[in-house]
């Protein structure tokens, strides 16, 4: 197992590599990540959303089933390689602290990856899910609608705070994945925090690029404006705060200090 300091050193190298990717490589890897997260969302709908009888008698178990099946997306991102906006919210922070990378490089990566993630999630929502009618019948369609309606019904502040919680755990999952030295350890390390954030109902912007557009394609009474204003914007801002402030910043400060010259 890699130590926290060794993980930060791995993060530093990865961030430098990510910052040097050509635009087309970044976009392709980002598209794949958005698709992988969407596949996790689809699996969660099939398993968790396909259990209405269990939900009526034990809603906590159904939430767990939803959360337990969703992590396949992030597991794929980390193990086979892809660019995920929410993970990158934390990746670059240690290098920014040590001035190895500047804010401009970070914002460029975030912008390209966010756009690519959106394309990948929308592709799986429309082409792989909607056009194939996988969730068009009951009980899956009810789950699709209920998830999206719930996600667009909170206040800006509530969704923002849920966004912080989601990416705090997502970035910890990525960090743990880098701490593990074998595939089994990586899968378990990623699965636990991601399962937890989904089960608890936090808001992940990239996952929501799948869940809510899918519901719109499937006839839910939700507008694209509502999706953007009531969910995607506050969830994205919360994700940035969760990744930067609660993972990248403290771990970069505490365990990158010997390389950066930062005094504690």
Could you tell me the CA-to-CA distances from 22 to 17, 27, 85, 93, 102 in Å, in that order?
Answer: 10, 9, 16, 21, 17
Q: Is the pLDDT score of 113 beyond 60?
A: yes
| Burial tier of 88 (Cβ tally within 10 Å: 0-12, 13-18, 19+) | buried
Q: pLDDT tens digits for 201-221?
A: 999 999 999 999 999 999 999
pLDDT band of residue 12 (cuts 50, 70, 90) is very high
Which one, of 68, 203, 73, 191, lies nearest residue 148 by Cα?
203
**pTM for the whole structure:** 0.95
SS3 261: coil
Q: pLDDT tens digits for 79-101?
A: 999 999 999 999 999 999 999 99
Q: Cα separation of 125 and 143, whole Å?
A: 14
What's residue 55's pLDDT? 80
**CA 139 and chain centroid, separation:** 26
Q: pLDDT tens digits for 28-84?
A: 999 999 999 999 999 999 999 999 888 888 999 999 999 999 999 999 999 999 999
| Burial tier of 46 (Cβ tally within 10 Å: 0-12, 13-18, 19+) | middle
Average pLDDT of the residues in 134-139: 96
Omega before 139 cis (within 30°)?
yes
Are 91 and 215 contacting, i.e. CB atoms less than 8 angstroms apart? no
Q: Cα separation of 54 and 78, whole Å?
A: 32
For the chain, where are the alpha helices, taking DSSP H only? 4-19, 23-47, 52-57, 59-69, 72-76, 85-91, 93-97, 103-123, 140-151, 156-179, 183-199, 205-217, 224-226, 233-243, 249-255, 257-260
What's residue 262's pLDDT? 39
Are 118 and 34 contacting, i.e. CB atoms less than 8 angstroms apart? yes
Tokens (6 digits) for 57? 């008698």
DSSP string, 77-106: IIIII---HHHHHHHTHHHHHTTSS-HHHH
């Amino acid at each position: 197992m890699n130590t926290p300091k060794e993980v930060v050193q791995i993060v530093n190298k990865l961030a430098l590599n990510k910052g040097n990717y050509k635009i087309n490589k970044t976009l392709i890897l980002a598209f794949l990540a958005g698709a992988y997260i969407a596949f996790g969302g689809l699996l969660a709908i099939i398993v968790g959303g396909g259990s209405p009888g269990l939900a009526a008698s034990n809603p906590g178990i159904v939430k767990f089933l939803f959360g337990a099946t969703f992590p396949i997306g992030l597991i794929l991102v980390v193990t086979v390689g892809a660019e995920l906006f929410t993970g990158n919210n934390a990746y670059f922070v240690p290098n920014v602290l040590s001035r190895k990378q500047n804010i401009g490089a970070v914002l460029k990566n975030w912008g390209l990856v966010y756009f690519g993630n959106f394309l990948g999630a929308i592709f799986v929502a429309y082409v792989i899910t909607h056009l194939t009618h996988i969730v068009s019948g009951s009980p899956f369609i009810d789950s699709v609608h209920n998830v999206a309606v719930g996600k667009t019904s909170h206040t800006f502040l509530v969704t923002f705070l849920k966004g912080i919680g989601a990416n705090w755990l997502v970035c910890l999952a990525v960090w743990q994945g880098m701490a593990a030295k074998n595939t089994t350890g990586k899968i378990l390390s990623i699965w636990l925090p991601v399962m937890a954030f989904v089960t608890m109902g936090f808001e992940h912007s990239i996952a929501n690029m799948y869940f809510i557009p899918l519901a719109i394609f499937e006839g839910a009474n939700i507008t694209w404006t509502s999706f953007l204003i009531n969910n995607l914007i506050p969830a994205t801002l919360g994700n940035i705060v969760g990744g930067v402030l609660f993972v990248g910043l403290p771990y970069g400060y505490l365990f990158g200090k010997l390389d950066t010259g930062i005094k504690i």
